[in-house]
Structure 1
Amino acid sequence: MESLSPNIFVNDINQTISFYELLGFKVTMSVPETGTDLVWAMMTNGSVIMMFQTYDSLGEDLPDIQRTDGGSLLLYINLKNIRAFFEEIKEKVTVLKGLETTFYGATEFSIKDNNGYVLTFAEHDA
């Protein structure tokens, strides 16, 4: 295995793109390639790749995918300069847990995205 890129299901892809742009992500690919009626988008920030797809675009292809926002999923994202990143976004997002140092030495904070998914950002000491 070489990488993992989550494909997260959302109701409003344009709202989701706007939210993740606040976190520094950029759209690198979409379906369709242009326009506002997107059904799928890939966004990147550094080496982190996230994909977003509308529930409606699935039709009946994957009936086992639950059609609700959020869920029992937490995305754990490593980054550098976590304190500066936290200061930059804390007033623009819903912070669930502020900056703290964990028992295993990481500095972390958690937010909720516009779809109810939890994102935990972490910086590990060298």
Structure 2
Amino acid sequence: MPVIQATAKLMVEDVNRAVAYYCDLLGFAFAGGLTEASRQPAAGWPAGERLAFAEVRSGQARLCFQSRASLAAELPRLAEAKIGGTVVVTLSCDDFDALAERLGDTVPFIKAPHRPLHGCRECSIEDINGYVLTLCESPANS
């Protein structure tokens, strides 16, 4: 059984805030979600209600955000887990230079743009939930 896709589901305290960050700062698009109170689908952004779950997309990249309360109800061992910190999400970018320049004006780099041993330029930032995002140029552009 080959794996055909992987999607990160990141636990967050505020799903709406996470979606806004990824859409506004990184150019992701809201793909849908579920409201916290009624568990009804939320198809448009900004959502009119607080969300328990949401998915954002950019190109082939997909990320999901789920509130601590909602995720802990499904997986109780996560109720007291620390959010962020140990997960690094790597995002390949078509226009690395433009994104790195825009981010440099807004968000402090954990690691400034550089060229590591593997050759593709990359930089790292920390998102609003403590997750590390490593942005790298697309291998086709390196």
Written as runs of structure 1 = structure 2, the 5 A alignment for 1:1-126 is 1-21=3-23, 22-32=25-35, 33=42, 34-65=47-78, 66-123=80-137, 124=139
Q: Please, what TM-score do these two structures have when normalized by structure 1?
A: 0.91
Gaps of at least 5 residues in structure 2 are 36-41
Q: Is the 8 A contact 1:76 1:119 kept in 2?
A: yes
- Give the number of the structure whose residues are more often helix, by fraction: 2
Q: Is the 8 A contact 2:92 2:135 kept in 1?
A: yes
User: Structure 1 residues 41 and 60, CA, compared in 2 at 3 Å: closer, same or farther?
Assistant: closer
- For residue 67 of structure 1, report the CA deviation from its aligned partner: 2.8
Number of equivalences: 126
Gaps of at least 5 residues in structure 1 are none
Deviates more, 1:109-118 or 1:98-107: 98-107
Q: Is the 8 A contact 2:11 2:71 kept in 1?
A: no
Measured on the aligned residues, the alpha-carbon RMSD in Å equals: 1.6
SS, match of residue 53 in structure 1: strand
